[in-house]
C-alpha cells in the first residue's frame, strides 16, 4: 500500500485533522430509574435514591426554566408582531385619509374653476349688449 506524501502524517506535509459539529456531554448516565426505587428491598440505598431523585428534580427544574424563558421570548415576539400589525394598519389608514383629503381638495379646486369659468362666460355674454350698434360709432375728425 502506497501513501500519499501530500496527505500522510508521517511525511509531515499538509497533515492535520479537525472536528466539526461535535457535542460533548459530560453528564453521567443514570443507573437508576424511578421504577427501580424500592426502599423496603434496598434500605441501604436510600442515600443513592435521594441523590437520584434530587438530580431528577434539578434537571426537571432546569428544563422548566428553559421552557419558561422560551415561552416568554415567544410572547414578546407575538406582542411585537401584533403592535407592528396595528401600526401598519393605522399607517395605511392615514395614507388612505391623506389620499381622500387630496382628492377632495382637487375636486374643490376643479369645482371652483368651473364656477369661475361659468361666471366669466356669463360676463362675456353680457358684454356685447353693452356695446353700441355698429353703425353708431363715430370716429373723431
Please give the grid coordinates belonging to residue 38. Answer: 424500592
Q: What is the pTM of this model?
A: 0.42
pLDDT, tens digit (0-9, with 9 covering 90-100), for 88-127 = 888 888 877 777 888 888 888 888 988 888 888 887 777 6
pLDDT, tens digit (0-9, with 9 covering 90-100), for 35-56 = 777 778 878 888 887 888 888 8
pLDDT at 80: 92
pLDDT at 79: 93
* Contact in structure between 35 and 27 (CB atoms under 8 Å): no
Average pLDDT over residues 50-78: 90
Instruction: Give the dihedral sign, CA 55/61/65/66.
Output: positive
Alpha carbon distance 46, 22 (integer Å): 37
CA nearest neighbour of 50 among 39, 59, 40, 61: 39
Alpha carbon distance 94, 100 (integer Å): 10
pLDDT at 2: 56
pLDDT, tens digit (0-9, with 9 covering 90-100), for 1-14 = 555 655 555 555 55
Amino acid at each position: 500500500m502506497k501513501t500519499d506524501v501530500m496527505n500522510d502524517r508521517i511525511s509531515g506535509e499538509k497533515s492535520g485533522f479537525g472536528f466539526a459539529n461535535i457535542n460533548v456531554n459530560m453528564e453521567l448516565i443514570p443507573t437508576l430509574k424511578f421504577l427501580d426505587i424500592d426502599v423496603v428491598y434496598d434500605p441501604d440505598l436510600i442515600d443513592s435514591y435521594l441523590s437520584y431523585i434530587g438530580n431528577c428534580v434539578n434537571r426537571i427544574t432546569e428544563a422548566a426554566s428553559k421552557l419558561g424563558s422560551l415561552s416568554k421570548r415567544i410572547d414578546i415576539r407575538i406582542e411585537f408582531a401584533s403592535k407592528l400589525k396595528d401600526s401598519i394598519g393605522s399607517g395605511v389608514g392615514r395614507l388612505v385619509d391623506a389620499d381622500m383629503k387630496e382628492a377632495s381638495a382637487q375636486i374643490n379646486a376643479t369645482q371652483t374653476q368651473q364656477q369661475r369659468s361659468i361666471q366669466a362666460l356669463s360676463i362675456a355674454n353680457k358684454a356685447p349688449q353693452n356695446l353700441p350698434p355698429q353703425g353708431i360709432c363715430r370716429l373723431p375728425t
